[in-house]
Amino acid sequence: MKTDEADIGLLESSDGGMPALPVSEVFGPTIQGEGPYAGRSAWFVRLGGCNLSCSWCDSPYTWDAQRFDLRREIPMTPVEEVIAGVASSSLVVVTGGEPLLHQNRPAWRALCTGLRARGCTLQIETNGTIVPNSTTRGLVQTFVVSPKLANAGAHRGNVDPALRTGWVEVAKSGHAHLKVVCTSADDVAGVVDIARTTGWPLSQVWVMPEGTTAQELNGRWRAIADAAAQAGINATHRLHILAWQDRRGH
């Protein structure tokens, strides 16, 4: 199985005709802890389902049916309820899992349209294996794209985690940033190679240390920051981990 859409399908139930999506959590106000918007006040909408299975994933409860009860973890939730759960005119980060698994559903359009109608700035966090369709590109201001390196391990179903070529067009329009998890300076070099090979603007490339504790992050931070500085790309810490550890809802 290349994705867990079958697992998500089991969650579908009668919702009175209201558009709904599998939602793990909606939370805020908090801060965006990573990438080009790090430090900004934000609200998060975390959707269920992912087509990858990173060994260090910090939200396996959104996709791993072997370890978690997905009916409980990512219940089908009316889009109106999700939209009402965030503050108007805020930065809203839609993440997962892999949120773009849902972009061809009417509920996805309803979610993005409803958030924009409330004056929200919409940011999508994605693994880069699914290119946004025209509807998504028209509604989302910023994409943060996180292709997975070898440090993420093998993925179920032999899914290829490589960045899809269609993303470069989005990046060149100024609406997409790479944000890649690294464990070493060698990983940073690999990210630079991806950017140069694809033509991704280096000013829109970010690397960050892997880890879910301050000790892990800080242990890798200097090497990664040094390598990023030498390569002329950006480095980002994980500020939410420093503030709240790996607690859900932050």
Write out the binding residues for substrate. 31-33, 46, 95
Whole-angstrom Cα distance, residue 234 to residue 99? Answer: 25
* Other CB atoms within 10 A of residue 104 CB: 12
Q: What is the pLDDT along the chain (250 residues), one digit of tens a residue?
A: 334 444 444 444 434 578 999 999 999 999 999 999 999 999 999 999 999 999 999 999 999 999 999 999 999 999 999 999 999 999 999 999 999 999 999 999 999 999 999 999 999 999 999 999 999 999 999 999 999 999 999 999 889 999 999 999 999 999 999 999 999 999 999 999 999 999 999 999 999 999 999 999 999 999 999 999 999 999 999 999 999 998 888 8
b/e per residue, 120-159, with b = 16+ CB within 10 A? bbbbbbbbbbbbbeeebbebbebbbbbbbbebbeebbeeb
Which residues carry a binding-site annotation for Mg(2+)?
A: 59
Binding site: which residues?
A: 31-33, 46, 50, 54, 56-59, 95, 97, 146-148
Q: CA 210, 147, 130, 75: dihedral to nearest 10 degrees?
A: -10
CATH topology of domain 5-244: TIM Barrel (3.20.20)
Encoded tokens for 206: 């970010």
pTM for the model stands at 0.92
pLDDT digit string, tens, across residues 155-170: 998 899 999 999 999 9
Binding residues for S-adenosyl-L-methionine: 56-58, 97, 146-148
